[in-house]
Structure 1
Amino acid sequence: MPDIKPLDADEGSPVTIAVLETINFGLEYLVDAARERGHELILLTGDRSRYTHELSKGLVDSLRIVGVDTGRVDEVVSVLRAVPDLAGVVRMADPWSLQALAVADQLGLPHENTEAVSLLRDKGRLRRHLYDNGFSRAPSIVFDPQTATVTELTRQLAFPCIVKDVAGSLSQNVWLVRRPEELASVLVAAQHAKDLYGGALTAEPYFLGPMYSAETVSWAGETKVIGVSSRGLSPEPYFREELATFPVVLPEKARSELAEWISGILFSVGYHEGVTHTEFIITTAGFEIVEINTRMGGALVGESINRSLGINFHSAFIDLALGRRPLVMDLEPEVRQGVTQIAIYAPRIGVFERIGGAEQLLDHPGAPTLYPIHRPGDVIPATTDQRGVLAMLLADGETAELSLHNALSAAGKLVVQMR
């Protein structure tokens, strides 16, 4: 049975919905969705500066912002108990995912299946589940980098393989291990990593093929694929995410098979209600999962979908928080345009000063727009993963292909200055 409990308030009664942190961009769409339903939004955050760009649009007058340590469930619950008409908690960002579920549970509010979310967030458990249930042709091996030995792992692993944090994000702590002799350096790197969130590593098969991501929404065991994005990665051995284009038009047979495959996986783990961002590879032998995130894709994935399809995909989180079937599941929007996002990375570590050349974007085709992530003066500690992203550039086009060329051309006009 699903964990979601329906809202008791009358359909038209205004209520308050709490957002326990969210991704950098898209807060405006959440506010719009709540407002369209006659409800008010509260943003609970431990760092208001994360939403500087979104709040610069005038959203301060459209929602309440409460400063709280969002990593502490007891503090969040205490704050929300003082909200008399609270009806739901929006869960969007990975680092606060389990906290949001715990808060909703303690307050008796609608929420997704906690065990299913925990399983999907654990890359090692997920790979084992996929293999055991016939959704993947290869399993994984989970190990503790502090105690594992090269000799032991060499006997267990097939090479090449991908080694990564079981609970990682932002493309951090991901290593391509082509040969056994490369294991030693990976173990040393993992042992000294300060941001190994899961505390363990998983060694997974190295699947060959292009990577894509699918955005889905589910209700009562029914899953709908909203759309698919292409993914552009950096040259190996790093897997730095550099661009994404929406939508990918798959052949009808492949599209149907993909929808059935993802639906089957989500149903098998008990994730019957919720949104997912599923990264997968199309190999010569079929689909293979990279990871399944129980949220919308990060950066500007939501923005791309909304512009391309003319919908508010963020509204699904408002409906789910209220324990209702997301309205976007019943829409059949036509593609209005293609949209591409490109990550603007720092060329080296150091102090970020500015991005020059933005003035050339004003008359550029595709209406390219910069979405800042870092501010001048920020220290950039790495360039091989998403910690090095300074800003996102978004451009559109009549088709996905044209939007890609517009975005690539616009990004080429920009010059990053570091010191």
Structure 2
Amino acid sequence: MILLTGDRSRYTHELSKGLADSIRVVDVDTSSVDGVVDILSTVPDLAGLVRMADPWSLQALAVAHRLGLPHESVEAVSLLRDKGRLRRHLYDNGFSRASSIVFDPQTASLPELIRLLPFPCIVKDVAGNASQNVWLVRKPEELSSVLVAARDAEELRGGALTAEPYFLGPMYSAETVSWAGETKIIGVSSRALSPEPHFREEMASFPVHLSRRMRGELAEWISGILSSVGYREGVTHTEFIITATGFEIVEINTRMGGVLVGEAINRSLDINFHGTFIDLALGRRPLVMDLDPEIRQGATQIAVYAPSVGVFDGIGGTEQLLDHPGKPTLYPIRSPGDAIPTTTDQRGVLAMLLADGETAELSLHNALSAVGKLTVRMR
């Protein structure tokens, strides 16, 4: 196995455990298709390419296509990556009760937007990730400051914003695997967000117990959406809200859920969900499609955020985790000395804490208790 990365700090925990001794790590700008192709062209008997994160999805597909490797539908992934196009597609095909309005924050007319947008609404980057560049606009008077913030944003990946209705209700995420047009839900996680107006992701518990009726309706709904966009093979992480009138999509990501979602699935179901990516990269039916695993336990992950911007200096209290129920484990994401630019989105995450429990609810209480023993030092 070869790891191509432009930022080794993303793998702080894994590399600290000796992973670099068992695989080859190559530093490269993974947004450069030519650069990645040049490196992989020298690999003998190259079998497949695995890609995980959203920002490099289309580049990775382009690399796989040029090297003749199995890969997902470029058209489907492109549509799902564009939040504005996806919202319109959902509305046009009967999967949502509302469409979107896409605009360029640099040239948009404030009076015209006020006339067009539904209030309250959510305004976000059409290709955003990690909860960055997402704004709740409750009333027209708040739109001007949002436009200023968008124009000053350091990184607006999609170059445009999409506005969509503000759906009320709790948010969940479904992890699915598709092969030859067949889609299987592996499980559903609960999600907890920070108080508004920010949408900072703070914790998730797996698996959520759904009634047979609701699970069947959810499976049919997500399968129908993926079929309608032509996504026939791959893994998806679908964030959705259960509103008073039914399901509404927040976004669909053509990857596993972020941070420790995969680890939570592995622990709870006693399977190797990550092996799905190897199967897909080799162009074969994922083994997990034919498994019917029992729920062995629950698992909850909690993000440890910096309490303020500044320089991260360390986390205290970790020795208390050793005797704590639920086997809480702290996975570092940042290293002491790292500058923390914000605390309102996932750029402020310092570490993730993962704890087990006999059920998802008990794992949640174990995780909440454990994370309360930690103290973050900033300077």
The alpha-carbon deviation at position 387 of structure 1 amounts to 0.6
Distance (whole Å) between structure 2 residues aligned to residue 75 and residue 318 of structure 1: 23
SS of aligned partner of 1:86: coil
What amino acid sits opposite 1:245 in the alignment?
S
Residue number among 266, 281, 285 corresponding to 2:245 in the alignment: 285
The alpha-carbon deviation at position 60 of structure 1 amounts to 2.4
The alpha-carbon deviation at position 95 of structure 1 amounts to 1.5
Residue number among 46, 67, 80 corresponding to 1:120 in the alignment: 80
Distance (whole Å) between structure 1 residues aligned to residue 28 and residue 163 of structure 2: 37
Q: Does 1:56 align with 2:56?
A: no
Residue number among 253, 265, 272 corresponding to 2:213 in the alignment: 253
The alpha-carbon deviation at position 156 of structure 1 amounts to 0.7
Q: Detail structure 1 runs of 4+ shifted over 3 Å in the superposition.
A: none
Could you say which residue in structure 2 is the equivalent of 1:369?
Answer: 329
Could you say which residue in structure 1 is the equivalent of 2:168?
Answer: 208
After TM superposition, the structure 1 stretch with the greater mean CA deviation from structure 2, 72-81 or 42-51, is 42-51
What amino acid sits opposite 1:59 in the alignment?
L
**CA displacement 1:64-99 (0-9 Å, x = unmatched):** 222222111111111111112001111211121111
Q: Answer whether contact 2:136 2:198 (CA < 8 A) is retained.
A: yes
Q: Does 1:340 align with 2:310?
A: no
* TM-score, length basis structure 1: 0.89
Q: Give me the identity figure in percent.
A: 82
The alpha-carbon deviation at position 48 of structure 1 amounts to 2.5
Matches within 5 A, 1:122-161: 122-161=82-121
RMSD over equivalenced CA pairs, Å = 0.8
The alpha-carbon deviation at position 55 of structure 1 amounts to 1.9
Distance (whole Å) between structure 1 residues aligned to residue 37 and residue 220 of structure 2: 38
* TM-score, length basis structure 2: 0.99
Distance (whole Å) between structure 1 residues aligned to residue 363 and residue 316 of structure 2: 22
Could you say which residue in structure 2 is the equivalent of 1:409?
Answer: 369
The alpha-carbon deviation at position 157 of structure 1 amounts to 1.1
The alpha-carbon deviation at position 49 of structure 1 amounts to 3.0
Matches within 5 A, 1:74-85: 74-85=34-45
Q: Answer whether contact 2:273 2:288 (CA < 8 A) is retained.
A: yes
Unpaired stretches in structure 1, ≥5 consecutive residues: 1-40
Distance (whole Å) between structure 1 residues aligned to residue 20 and residue 129 of structure 2: 29
Distance (whole Å) between structure 2 residues aligned to residue 181 and residue 52 of structure 1: 43
Residue number among 203, 219, 222 corresponding to 1:262 in the alignment: 222
The alpha-carbon deviation at position 416 of structure 1 amounts to 0.8
Could you say which residue in structure 1 is the equivalent of 2:287?
Answer: 327
Could you say which residue in structure 2 is the equivalent of 1:4?
Answer: none
The alpha-carbon deviation at position 57 of structure 1 amounts to 2.2
Q: Answer whether contact 2:12 2:332 (CA < 8 A) is retained.
A: no
Distance (whole Å) between structure 1 residues aligned to residue 44 and residue 324 of structure 2: 50
Distance (whole Å) between structure 1 residues aligned to residue 19 and residue 157 of structure 2: 32
Could you say which residue in structure 2 is the equivalent of 1:309?
Answer: 269
**CA displacement 1:346-365 (0-9 Å, x = unmatched):** 11111111111111111111
Could you say which residue in structure 1 is the equivalent of 2:140?
Answer: 180
Distance (whole Å) between structure 1 residues aligned to residue 339 and residue 4 of structure 2: 26
**CA displacement 1:201-259 (0-9 Å, x = unmatched):** 00011000000000000000000000000000011111110000000010110000000
